[in-house]
């Protein structure tokens, strides 16, 4: 308790109460005048002081190690302390991962020289997810083309699988012009092996020469 003069007495609880002392039957009675809430800065106030000119009020307590200072527009009048309010904004973000595709041993698939209606040996294509999270890996292809962009073999003469020597050519998945799943768990940094075979069934039985096929891979995460 700090008596400022013979007229006012100040007490601190969770809010600061201003009590005026007025004579009542030759005695002084405390009458409520005003209050100022400091619970936003200090829940357990233990001390109160004013500057010499009464334009600043200082509060200390056990919650905050510092001294809370308040400016008064009118000396010793806590009702003249500017009112303040606080609001909160909630921030939110989504952290995205990345995924990608690389071919550590190159992206060329050479089936060698084949006779019509024969099946190639199994060729291995190694791939890795160059991103940071697991992904879906899909494949699609084009027809086999000659140097003049004529179709020599259908796209589905190429078959693929993730397991070597476990499936015959007929048991492997057919490559198509639409996406087919290679794996839905394309884990970063791990090598995924794709085993491919080609059956040389020609659209033109008299064709000889080189033909190429483009395979497009899509990685989704």
**Residue labelled with tokens 């302390």:** 81
CATH class of the domain defined by 101-220? mainly beta
User: Distance between CA atoms of 88 and 75, rounded to whole angstroms?
Assistant: 32
Question: Bigger pLDDT: 42 or 108?
Answer: 108
Q: How confident is the model over 187-208, as pLDDT tens digits?
A: 998 899 999 999 999 999 999 9
The whole-number pLDDT of residue 18 equals 46
pTM of the full predicted structure? 0.58
User: Distance between CA atoms of 76 and 105, rounded to whole angstroms?
Assistant: 82
The whole-number pLDDT of residue 152 equals 95
The whole-number pLDDT of residue 95 equals 78
The whole-number pLDDT of residue 54 equals 83
Q: Which of the four pLDDT bands, split at 50, 70 and 90, describes residue 21?
A: very low
DSSP structure string for 39-77? TTT-SSEEEEEE-TTSSEEEEEESS-SS-EEEE-SBTTB
The whole-number pLDDT of residue 184 equals 92
Nearest to 184 by CA among 214, 162, 215, 156: 162
Structure tokens at 40: 């936003």
Domain boundaries, given as residue ranges, for the chain: 2-80, 101-220
Q: How confident is the model over 73-91, as pLDDT tens digits?
A: 888 787 777 776 667 788 8
Phi and psi of 171, rounded to 5°?
A: -85, -15
The whole-number pLDDT of residue 29 equals 56
The whole-number pLDDT of residue 112 equals 94
Asked if pLDDT for residue 26 goes beyond 70, the answer is no
Among the ranges given (59-68, 89-98, 126-135, 144-153), the one the predictor scored with the smallest mean pLDDT:
59-68
Q: How confident is the model over 100-133, as pLDDT tens digits?
A: 999 999 999 999 999 999 999 999 999 999 999 9
The three-state secondary structure class of 155 is helix
The whole-number pLDDT of residue 3 equals 31
Tell me how long the chain is.
Answer: 221
**Residue labelled with tokens 């290679």:** 182
Question: Bigger pLDDT: 49 or 15?
Answer: 49
Asked if pLDDT for residue 2 goes beyond 50, the answer is no
Mean pLDDT over each residue of the chain, to the nearest integer: 81
Count CB atoms within 10 A of the CB of residue 29. Answer: 11
Mean pLDDT of 157-175: 85
Count CB atoms within 10 A of the CB of residue 218. Answer: 13
Mean pLDDT of 4-26: 43
The whole-number pLDDT of residue 50 equals 85
């Amino acid at each position: 308790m700090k008596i400022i003069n013979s007229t006012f007495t100040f007490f601190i609880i969770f809010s600061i109460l201003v009590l005026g002392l007025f004579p009542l039957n030759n005695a002084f009675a405390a009458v409520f005048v005003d209050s100022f809430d400091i619970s936003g800065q200090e829940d357990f106030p233990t001390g109160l002081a004013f500057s010499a000119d009464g334009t600043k009020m200082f509060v200390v307590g056990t919650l905050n190690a510092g001294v809370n200072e308040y400016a008064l527009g009118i000396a010793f009048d806590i009702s003249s302390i500017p009112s303040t309010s606080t609001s909160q904004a909630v921030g939110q973000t989504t952290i995205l991962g990345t995924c990608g595709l690389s071919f550590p041993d190159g992206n060329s698939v050479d089936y060698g020289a084949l006779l019509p209606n024969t099946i190639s040996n199994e060729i291995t294509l190694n791939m890795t997810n160059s991103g940071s999270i697991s992904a879906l890996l899909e494949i699609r292809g084009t027809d086999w083309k000659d140097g003049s962009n004529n179709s020599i073999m259908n796209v589905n003469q190429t078959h693929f699988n993730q397991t070597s020597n476990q499936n015959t050519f007929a048991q492997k998945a057919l490559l198509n012009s639409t996406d087919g799943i290679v794996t839905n768990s394309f884990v970063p940094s791990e090598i995924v092996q794709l085993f491919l075979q080609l059956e040389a069934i020609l659209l033109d039985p008299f064709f000889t020469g080189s033909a190429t096929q483009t395979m497009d891979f899509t990685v989704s995460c």
